[in-house]
Copies of this chain bind each other. A is one copy, B any other.
Amino acid sequence: MPKKPLILVTNDDGITAPGIRTLIEVMNTIGDVVVVAPDSPQSGMGHAITINSTLHIEKVTIGNGNQLEYSSSGTPADCVKLGVKQILDRRPDLCVSGINHGSNSSINVIYSGTMSAAIEAGIEGIPAIGFSLCDYNWNANFDHCKAYIKTIAENVLKHGLDSGTVLNVNFPKLDTTELKGIKVCRQAKANWEEVFDQRKSPNGKDYYWLTGKFVNLDKGEDTDEWALANGYVSVVPVQFDLTAHHSIQELNTWDFNEK
């Protein structure tokens, strides 16, 4: 019997979140699962890493299943580093992150702890996928995601991914019967229009909450936003070579010696 794939599972909502519980359940049907995930929610952490503080790991048992689980004080990116370099005795065949409670489509990929974990694994040369559901509800229904997650993970294990590339998968908030399938997309050129909610503390000092409205002016039917709005599961290949190669030629025409 062929050896089962070794799968590292993490997330940014914390190790007890319903989203990661669903992801573990699906991964247990595919391979040997080791979970290394934050001990508390880390949403909006981007690709933060812990360099000025200590890191802690604790072996834990949460829920059923054959998975081994470790809870860590670190960020999602820290969890992947700890899993690969400290906890596992061989390289994982796959790293999956999520299922995030909330969308990581379009520009959200930049702020996402879920995706930073997948990108960290990609940097280590491990095929990796981040999964997110466009529903911020803690008690969201993840059932319609399960079969798709299995299919996408099995495809990545079978085909591999281009070096320097990981997958950003988002699910619309829908029942299974309404989902139209998988669509490979590009990241929509959408962004947040922030508004700061200004308040006064009991001692009279101003403070602020970051709020905002998501605005998508990119109407392309090849975007993740279009796919999600039209009932598809969006799959965006994401790279961490951030070089804007198309700008190099233009920059070389600048005269850096002019005064």
Q: Which residues of chain A have a CB within 8 Å of any CB of chain B?
A: 41, 43-52, 54-57, 77-78, 81-82, 85-86, 107, 109-111, 116, 119, 123-124, 151-152, 155, 159, 161-162, 164-165, 168, 181-182, 184-187, 189, 191, 194-196, 198-199, 205-210, 235-248, 250-252, 254-258
Q: Is the interface of A mostly helix, strand, loop or mixed?
A: mixed
Number of identical protomers: 2
Q: For the complex formed, measure the closest distance between the CB of A202 and the CB atoms of chain B, giving whole angstroms.
A: 13
Q: For the complex formed, measure the closest distance between the CB of A153 and the CB atoms of chain B, giving whole angstroms.
A: 11
Q: For the complex formed, measure the closest distance between the CB of A136 and the CB atoms of chain B, giving whole angstroms.
A: 11
- A237's partner among B46, B49, B184, B243 (CB-CB below 8 A) is B243
Does B237 lie within 8 Å of A189, measured CB to CB? no
Q: For the complex formed, measure the closest distance between the CB of A249 and the CB atoms of chain B, giving whole angstroms.
A: 9
Q: For the complex formed, measure the closest distance between the CB of A44 and the CB atoms of chain B, giving whole angstroms.
A: 4
- A189's partner among B196, B207, B241 (CB-CB below 8 A) is B241
